[in-house]
Amino acid sequence: MTEPTATMIDVDRINTYYGDSHVLFDVSMQVREREVVALLGRNGAGKSTTLKTLAGVLRPRSGAIRFDGATIEQLPSYQIARLGLQLVPEERRIFGALTVAENLDIAALSAREPLPLNDIYAIFPRLRERRGSHGRSLSGGEQQMLAIARALIRRPRLILLDEPFEGLAVIIVQNLLEICRELAAKGQTIVIVEQNVRAALSLAHRVYVLNNGHMAFEGTPAALQDAPEVMNRYLGV
């Protein structure tokens, strides 16, 4: 993996709510350019809420989010996407009635300089084979590839992956892991939320652990693995 450099996104004590329910409590984190950061925690810890807040899907009631030094926490999600931050949601949200190629074409429409389709198909050869197939006919792994490809075609500076390996067969997870490693080696900045702790730690430069909306740990994968009490208490590992 390439070495991280300057800070790309700086999250400063954000508090996010669903209605009256307080979900994130003074959450702070940083992501540097060309860094892979894993955000871990049990179900309901606030991981997906954090990604949605970074992407502008949810707006924090307090705290600041700075992207390249510019404050973005009050911007709508489409403006944040234009700045180069792309969320690949857990639900994938591909268009089932459209083909693979049409899904990619739509994602490219609003990109300033979309990645050529041939480059996308070089990363995901399976999508080239299925380019004429409708989204609803794809397997779970193929849908996940398409969801990631749809983000990559916009040349994101930062890509947020929410549970990319959930519910997938081991061989598909291994394939997607290898693709993520290749992206990281080329300098793609990534934040990954994942229940598969081993997979996430194999990719990450640094790790954050959330517990009930509070940040419980920050450090390297090695430091986390050397803290079995943290692994057991917050991750059940």
Same structural domain for residues 115 and 232?
no
Same structural domain for residues 79 and 102?
no
- Which amino acid is present at 193? V
% of the chain with per-residue pLDDT over 90: 91
pLDDT per residue as tens digits for the range 100-133 = 999 999 999 988 899 999 999 999 999 999 999 9
- Which amino acid is present at 235? L
Same structural domain for residues 67 and 113?
no
pLDDT at 184: 94
Same structural domain for residues 113 and 179?
no
pLDDT score of 150 more than 90:
yes
Same structural domain for residues 63 and 15?
yes
Domain coverage including residue 45: 1-84+158-237
E strand residue ranges, 19-130: 21-32, 36-40, 62-67, 70-71, 85-88
pLDDT per residue as tens digits for the range 15-70 = 999 999 999 999 999 999 999 999 999 999 999 999 999 999 999 999 999 999 99
Number of domains in the chain: 2
Tokens representing 98?
């459209």
Same structural domain for residues 75 and 16?
yes
Domain annotation covers residue 89: no
pTM for the complete prediction? 0.92
Same structural domain for residues 165 and 232?
yes
Same structural domain for residues 151 and 168?
no
